[in-house]
Chain A
């Protein structure tokens, strides 16, 4: 009997496996919305010139990416594995336990 995986077309609809999005960087636009970057509108930072604000904005983007990566690898993946291994411990059915791990592949 041939095994039929429920995830045969996973590569088609999983966002992480789709082609990379457009990575164009247009001039005149910012890397991160200014209101989400701490202090770049502050007079003390403005006094340092545009370069300072750009640098802090780059750091903000860098830290957002690093935070997301750490969260996914060190917490979310771990939790998905725990759920898949013992879904009943968290009040979940066996089927619901499979769902959490599958979406992380």
Chain B
């Protein structure tokens, strides 16, 4: 289940946020993520479990390696939570309709 508030809770931890941010541009293993972070591999694995439970990260298997990547669905749920669905959608509609009407007035 993807729940935006759960995702926000998961991102409330600074180290977890860093782990998530590192996954933004590439898929990698817990070991690769831990490199250069000053955090142990097992700590990174625990953070990844929380991110996974929050719907922000998905795991794929590559042989014996477990690779992590950002789950678009969780990110989209966050955006919806932040944006305000109908306000944003109706606002975009208003702009489009007024653009069309202004063009018709000019021609």
Q: Do A and B come from one complex?
A: no
Q: Which A positions have Cβ atoms within 8 angstroms of B?
A: none
